[in-house]
Structure 1
Amino acid sequence: MCGITGIAWTAREKNISPRILRRMTDVLSHRGPDDSGGYHSDMPGKSFLLNDPNTTADFQPVSDIGAALGHRRLSIIDLGTGHQPLSNEDGSVWIAFNGEIYNYQELRKELIQQGHQFKTESDTEVIVHLYEEQGAACVERLRGMFAFAIWDERRQRLFLARDRIGQKPLFYRETADSLSFASELKSLLQLPDAGRTVDPHAIDLFLAYQYVPHPWSILKGYQKLPPAHLAIYEEGKLTVERYWKPPYEHPASNPQFPFKTSQQWSDALRETLTESVKIRMRSDVPLGAFLSGGIDSTIIAGLMQSMSDRPVHTFSIGFPVKQFDERSYAREAAKMLGTDHHEYVVEPEALEMLPRLAWHYDEPFADSSAIPTMYLSQVTRQEVTVSLSGDGGDELFAGYDRYRAVALSQWFDRLPTVMRKMMTASIWQKLPASVEQKSFRRRVKRFLAGLAVPPERRYLKWVGIFDTERRHEMYAPEFREQLNTFDADQFLLDAYQLCPDRDFVTRTTATDVLTYLPCDILTKVDIASMAHSLECRSPFLDHHVAELAAAMPLNLKMHKGRGKQILTDTFSDLLPESIQTRKKMGFGVPLNHWFRNELKPLLFDVLMSQRARDRQIFNPAAVEQLISEHLKLQWDHSARLWSLLVLEMWFQTFLDPASIPDHFPETVLT
């Protein structure tokens, strides 16, 4: 796993020196601590070591059109000869690659038969030769997780691509005369002309979703390449296009999956997921698995163990607060599977973690499970370099509890108008309920409140932290005017339109696959794992598994309101009975408790500070009301307060300093 960065230019003044390229690359050192390299079209020999002071000095630009590529490497495969950037035989095609191509051995054999000569054993070189054969269509043959940049000297073309599901990130910035790109936004901020103007629309999106969705970025002028998209920059023009989408058309119309019985679907799932795990166990470094004790991670660990001649290393963490501690389930799974299990107890230090999260995530990111994911990655990296995970199982196989609410709401939509009006009457919102956000009465009130709006917007109202009305009440008048008629819901509504013909629950799971999974779950895991130079592989996210799940009928996934039924049935031999029937537990932290205790001073010191007020984004009285209601046990606003806190910490980390730091302070990383 690696970090990539670079730029292509069509005007000489945008030609960057190797010294600047080194700055852009060094800020990604956590993603690749083992090696660094550069390519520059104006440099003799083109390729050079970025840690060599003789090749990173300032220089006089020569070419009007050219490119520079930077790379930081975490060595996983071909430890000795996998240095990047890497080229084809004649040096006309260069690549900087982040990710893993799991079918590279099969592609390599095919390309050798076609006459290509290889100088390494790496999966990276396969992409170069495949590009020579097929051009941009090469991405359709790749099976894995990836973000890469290819500079084609003959065509003077920069080619960017991102994997189908969105496991690997890729930011870019287009100007009149250049296109720059990087694995993380902080790398692009090292360019001399980097702008740092916040996009008001991005703030509105962040508060709606807890993340800034693609293609937006928190800063104006910067974008994220969406999953399953490629981009070509040629003659000063950028084109972006989608090359894949999960086949959520009705199963009866999909000849790729002609299955008629549940057993046929189950057999196909067993075969496809087993093979997906098998090819992800290819590694030249120590390999293990995250094991939470949930269905998904237990299946992955179990399949790994069935294909290993020695105990697989598995890892879990727990917390002193019981409702956030899954160690007993992970321990039971490890015992049944026979893994070499490692478990750790941590006491999250939010005061220490907040600035660290702000630095590593580049953009405001308010999923608080990033905290335990950071800790889990840290302890896992002490033993192994690669870890497999169960990410994707919930979205692909209808595992979230909220899908039951979606199914129930379809029954409501078929009721007579009079009954629907009665159930959505405002009187129900005035009934008393527990302060706890996840209490039964709170959930009922939230469910009924959502029924009054169309199904697609209803779903966002249920899963969002700040709905549209609450956001606009929070904003200062001047900031609200900047939003004009912008509709943050449209990101979700557009995703629903990519799956128009299935039942609404399946459409909702498809929407999560296209939005929540890449923007939240996979961003969280990529940044947390790469912060500790750990590669995380997700067998459920193999596109063969994803395509199978997309075509699968809902009744196989959800039975009597319970999701992931086909997973439980198909892999029952790997799952302890208690895990098959256990209630889903989120991977979270006790924010509610923290904000009424340890973090209480932080709410006032940060959110009510003069510095925060001067940004003129929020109405201070509205923020103060959130804090007051939470502290007085009138409402659980912990998720909302965390979002506001994360946003302000991002401002202080990336905009308030006179310059962006080159690395995260070591005192916080210890």
Structure 2
Amino acid sequence: MCGIAGWLGRKIDTDCSSEILRRLTHRGPDGKGEWMSGGVWFGHRRLAVLDLTPDGRQPMISASGRYVLTYNGEVYNYQELRGELEQAGVTFRGHSDTEVVLAACEYWGIELALARFEGMFAFSLYDTLEHVLWLARDPLGIKPLYYAARGNEFAFASELQALQPLPWLDDSIDSAALYAYFRYLCVPAPASILRGARKLPSGSLLRRDAEGIQIICYWDAEAHARAARKDPLQMSFAAAADELEVRLRRSVRLHMQSDVPYGAFLSGGVDSSTIVALMQAESARPVKTFSIGFTDISHDESRYARAVAEHLGTDHHELILNAEDVPALIPMVASFYDEPFADGSSIPTFLVSKFAREQVTVSLSGDGGDELFGGYPRYFWASRIEKWRNRLTRPGAKLTAGILKSVPNVFWDHVVNPLSGHRYGGATGLSDRIRRFSAYLGCPRERAYAMTMSAWPHPEELIGDVEGVLGADAVSYPDLNWAEEMMLVDQGNYLQDDILTKVDRASMAVSLEARVPLLTHSLVEWSWRVPLHFKLAEKGDQGKLLLKEVLYRHVPKELIERPKQGFGMPMAKWLRGPLRDWAESLLGASDLIAAGLNSAPVRKAWAEHLSGEDRLSRLWSVLMYLQWRQNWEKGRKACVA
């Protein structure tokens, strides 16, 4: 894993390019490299994982001297590709996947090479003969890549804050991106929070030459999903589980390739337990596993992770934290995200990454299982809600939704939930699920996803009306089953813009390479061939049936079966306690107005939260935006200094 950057322009400011590279040091503490020719500069910060010798250094020049590569990530099937290239007469001087990526692009051409790569990556390739620049990002968007263009100037970097030193960067706020952020708690690709910068979308290739910029989609989730649905698996549930295990074992085995110590995050949930179980099955020695816990039992899953680790015989390490120690970290963790980002689980993700980095340089993670195999409650409740909507008719559904919303949260959480044996409460409480259920009932299907996923259902209350829509607001697939539609929307938006962004920034802040074996494009494509009833139970609160079948071959069911609990902390309570002074310092009416926000709805939400209502999502999105503005302004002043 590394940090990459580049700048093409009439005159490269070397002081500026040095500052760009310095800002990526945390992504690559093991060394740096630069290449410059005429009006082209490439920079690279190295986190050495494969081929620790100087042969793996970057930027790397091809054997012919025509191409220059700066590359971040891993192509896990590089040894297989190297074998093909060697048979074709290509020679290699080292053993890194970087050299294979470069040789593959030169031999097959970049588009054909991308079709063969299986991994996570973001890279730039410069053709010194044709004077063409290429940028590429992996199919799932696991690795980030930002770019900015203005006139004859063009630059790119692994992180947005690395582009801030550019004297020509337009860093005014993109209002459409801000609107989407207040809805979904993150800024969706291809936008960035700045008008003058963009994210390269997942599965995309950018070409820049004398004619301008062209973006090519080389891998499309929707196209693969639709093709796979026309060719569903024709086999039993048990046979499908056999095939899934074979595919997962191969992916896990490839993701374990490393010349430095590696381990895995383990929460004790389905996804991380499956990855660890298969890692241990592929390893001759105990795999290092890492988990964190809290003295507050309501937000502590460490006992579940410990039980799974003991059963599998891993070399398990856990860190138990006092809740009082965490709030002070929040402003610091916010600084790792170079755009506003309001997923509260970013804090425990950072903490477990920091803990793991004390012993390993690479850690495998179970991210992606929910989106591929149906783990979120909204998936397995979707068809039932649709039936209710049809039975009630639209007016009846709206009336029922209104009645459900009028019932106090305390009734759902402290009366109904205990009576139902806590089967439906999940991580956020039964009242939260009832609120989401009501939103599904009370609005048209095409608006249901946005309304239930929104922090602010109507962001125009904060920033006024904006032109254009981004992220999940811009896509819908009404011809699909409702659950499948939400899975596809999540895979193209929530997974890339929230989950993978969180994991990348939290892990790279401590120079840890996080790998996600569930998210190879071949496995995603195969998952769409799996019949929906192999993923979701027709009755009950159950998803990920096929993935669980694989897991239960290695770990007893009783160690896993329990209500789904998110990787979070008691943030709502902390805002009324140890975080209150920090929040008050940001939420003053004048501060809100200065940030371009309407203060009235924010102050109202703050008062309601202090009185006992839960307004965490709304407030956290505002707080993280305001904290980001402070951090960005500090970065701007550092550039001037």
Per the normalisation by structure 1, the TM-score is: 0.89
Aligned to 1:62: none
* Structure 2 residues not aligned, in runs of 5+: 414-426
Residues 95 and 224 of structure 1: CA distance in aligned 2, closer, same or farther (over 3 Å): same
Q: How does 1:210-229 map to 2 (within 5 A)?
A: 210-229=185-204
1:338 positional shift: 0.5
User: Which of 448, 453, 468 is the matching residue for 2:438?
Assistant: 448
CA apart distance, 1:609: 5.9
Matches of 1:472 and 1:570, distance apart in 2: 46
* Structure-2 separation of matches of 1:429 and 1:659: 47
After superposition, where does 1:485-496 map in structure 2 within 5 Å?
Answer: 485-487=467-469, 491-496=471-476
Q: Distance in 2 between matches of 1:324 and 1:238?
A: 48
Relative to structure 1, is the Cα distance of residues 547 and 331 closer, same or farther in structure 2, using a 3 angstrom cutoff? same
Kept in 2, the 8 Å contact 1:250–1:502? The answer is: no
Q: Deviations over 1:68-92 (max 9, x none)?
A: 1100000000001211000111321
Find 1:156's aligned residue among 124, 127, 131: 131
1:46-98 CA-partner distances (Å, limit 9, x unpaired): xxxxxxxxxxxxxxxxxxxx421100000000001211000111321000000
CA distance in 2, matches of 1:91, 1:422: 66
Task: Name 2:285's counterpart in structure 1.
Answer: 310
Q: Is the 8 A contact 1:510 1:550 kept in 2?
A: no
> Which residue does 1:120 correspond to in 2?
94
The corresponding residue for 2:583 is: 603
Displacement, 1:296? 0.8
Matching residue of 1:253: 230
Q: Within 5 Å, which residues of 2 pair with 1:589-600? A: 589-600=569-580
The C-alpha deviation readout for 1:575-594, integer Å capped at 9, x for no partner, is 23223321111000111110
How big is each residue's C-alpha offset from its partner over 1:296-319, in whole Å with a ceiling of 9 and x where there is no partner? 111111111111111100000001
Map 1:189-208; keep pairs closer than 5 Å.
Answer: 189-208=164-183
Deviation digits for residues 332-390 of structure 1 (CA, Å, limit 9, x no counterpart): 00011000000001235455323323321100000010000010000000000001110
Flag the 1:94–1:641 CA change in 2: closer, same or farther, 3 A: same
Counterpart CA distance in 1 for 2:269 and 2:401 is: 38
Match of 1:20 among 16, 19, 23: 16
SS of equivalent residue, structure 2 residue 225: coil
Residues 192-214 of structure 1, C-alpha deviation per residue, up to 9 Å, x if partnerless?
A: 22222111112111100000000
Instruction: Quote the Cα distance in structure 2 between the aligned partners of 1:287 and 1:657.
Output: 33
Give the counterpart letter for 2:45 in structure 1: R
The counterpart of 1:243, out of the listed 211, 218, 226, is 218
CA contact (8 A) 2:204 2:217 kept: yes
Contact 2:397/2:441 (8 A) holds in 1: no
Q: For residues 199 and 146 of structure 1, do their structure 2 counterparts lie closer, same or farther at Cα, with a shift above 3 Å needed?
A: same
Q: CA deviation at 1:272?
A: 0.5
Match of 1:354 among 330, 342, 346: 330
Q: Find the residue that maps to 1:283 and give its secondary structure.
A: coil
Matches within 5 A, 1:635-646: 635-646=613-624
Question: How many Å apart are 1:431 and its aligned residue?
Answer: 3.0
RMSD: 2.1
State how far apart, in whole Å, the 1-side matches of 2:446 and 2:299 are. 31
Judge conservation of contact 1:189–1:195 (CA < 8 Å) in 2: no
Please state how far the C-alpha of 1:250 moved relative to its aligned partner.
6.3
Task: Give the secondary-structure state (helix, strand or coil) at the position aligned to 1:545.
Answer: helix
Distance 1:211 1:376 in 2: 21
Of 67, 73, 96, the residue aligned with 2:40 is 67
Q: Distance in 2 between matches of 1:249 and 1:158?
A: 32
Match of residue 586 from structure 1: 566
Q: Is the 8 A contact 2:3 2:28 kept in 1?
A: yes
Larger mean Cα displacement after TM superposition, 599-608 or 292-301 = 599-608
Name the residue aligned to 2:548.
568
Name the structure 1 match of 2:153: 178
Unaligned runs of 5+ in 1: 43-65, 664-670
1:401 to 377, 383, 389: 377
* Aligned CA distance change for structure 1 residues 493 and 571 (closer, same or farther; 3 Å): same
TM-score with structure 2 setting the length: 0.93
| Matched residue type, 1:443 | R
Task: Spell out, residue by residue over 1:398-419, the C-alpha distance to the aligned partner (whole angstroms, 9 max, x if none).
Answer: 0112223323222123225277
Partner letter of residue 472 of structure 1? Answer: E
Over 3 Å counting, the alpha-carbon distance change for 1:441 and 1:149 in structure 2 is closer
- Tell me if 1:612 matches 2:592: yes
For 1:36, the aligned partner's letter is: K
Give the conservation status (yes or no) of the 8 Å contact 2:148–2:169.
no
User: Amino acid of the residue matched to residue 107 of structure 2?
Assistant: E
The 1-side partners of 2:542 and 2:638 are apart by 48
| Shift of residue 445, structure 1, vs aligned partner | 4.0
Counterparts of 1:228-627 in structure 2 under 5 Å? Answer: 228-246=203-221, 247-249=224-226, 251=228, 253-254=230-231, 258-347=233-322, 349=325, 351-417=327-393, 420-421=396-397, 423-424=399-400, 426-434=402-410, 438-468=428-458, 471-473=459-461, 475=462, 479-480=463-464, 483-487=465-469, 491-497=471-477, 501-559=479-537, 560=539, 561-608=541-588, 610-618=590-598, 620-627=599-606
Q: CA deviation at 1:545?
A: 1.4
Shift of 1:639: 2.0
Between 353-362 and 205-214, the greater mean CA deviation after superposition: 353-362
Matched, 1:104 2:78: yes
- Identity among equivalent pairs (%): 39
Instruction: Quote the Cα distance in structure 2 between the aligned partners of 1:442 and 1:293.
Output: 24
Tell me the SS of whatever aligns to 1:383.
coil
CA gap 1:445/1:384 in 2 versus in 1, 3 angstroms: closer
Distance 1:340 1:287, change over 3 A: same
Which string of whole-angstrom CA distances, capped at 9 and with x for unpartnered residues, describes residues 200-257 of structure 1?
Answer: 1121111000000001111111100111111000115100121112321265623xx6
Q: Deviations over 1:488-543 (max 9, x none)?
A: xx53144434xx54311112111111111111000000000000000011110011
Query: 3-state DSSP class of the match of 1:414?
Result: helix
Q: CA deviation at 1:462?
A: 1.2
- Structure 2 counterpart of 1:386, which letter? V
Q: Kindly provide the amino acid, as one letter, of the partner of residue 121 in structure 2.
A: F
Distance 1:395 1:658 in 2: 37
- Supply the distance in 2 between the matched residues of 1:25 and 1:418 (Cα, whole angstroms): 56
CA contact (8 A) 2:203 2:217 kept: yes
**Structure 2 vs 1, CA of residues 222 and 585 (structure 1 numbering), >3 Å: closer, same or farther?**
same
Equivalent position amino acid for 1:139 in 2: L
Task: Give the letter for the 2:27 counterpart.
Answer: R
Q: Equivalent residue for 1:53?
A: none
AA in 2 matched with 1:585: Q
